Structure 1
Amino acid sequence: MASFDHPMFKPLWVRIALVAFCFLWAGFEVFTTKSFLWAAIFAAAGGYAGYHLLYKYTPPAGKP
């Protein structure tokens, strides 16, 4: 589905920021708009991204 080996995801702060954004947006949807469907979608995206970018991540192979 997604390519998590893109060089953009190499810095740890980028990976953390992406996951945090998804969960913060899910919270925004719950507390401001009461849209639980969109909150669930963003929370699921944050969980998926967190699993692949923080737990299972391996840096891409560098140039030889």
Structure 2
Amino acid sequence: NTWVRGEVVFFDGCPMHFPPDAPEGAYTVLVGIQDQSFRYLPAVTDLDADPTPLIPVGAVTLKK
């Protein structure tokens, strides 16, 4: 895919797979973008923040 700088991209879903022995509890969901060499690109949550490779976007709770 090719995205234009500043373009907002939406998607309908993102499957999450947990190992069968993963403990119950809350897990933070982090999002990052990698280049073609699989290096994470720096991102910020606001213009005053330091760049980071992963941005927290929420949490999921695993229950068995």
Which structure features the higher share of strand residues? 2
Q: TM-score, normalised by structure 2?
A: 0.22
Bigger Cα Rg: 2
Q: TM-score, normalised by structure 1?
A: 0.22
Q: 1 or 2 for the larger relative contact order (CA 8 Å, sep ≥6)? A: 1
Which structure features the higher share of helix residues? 1
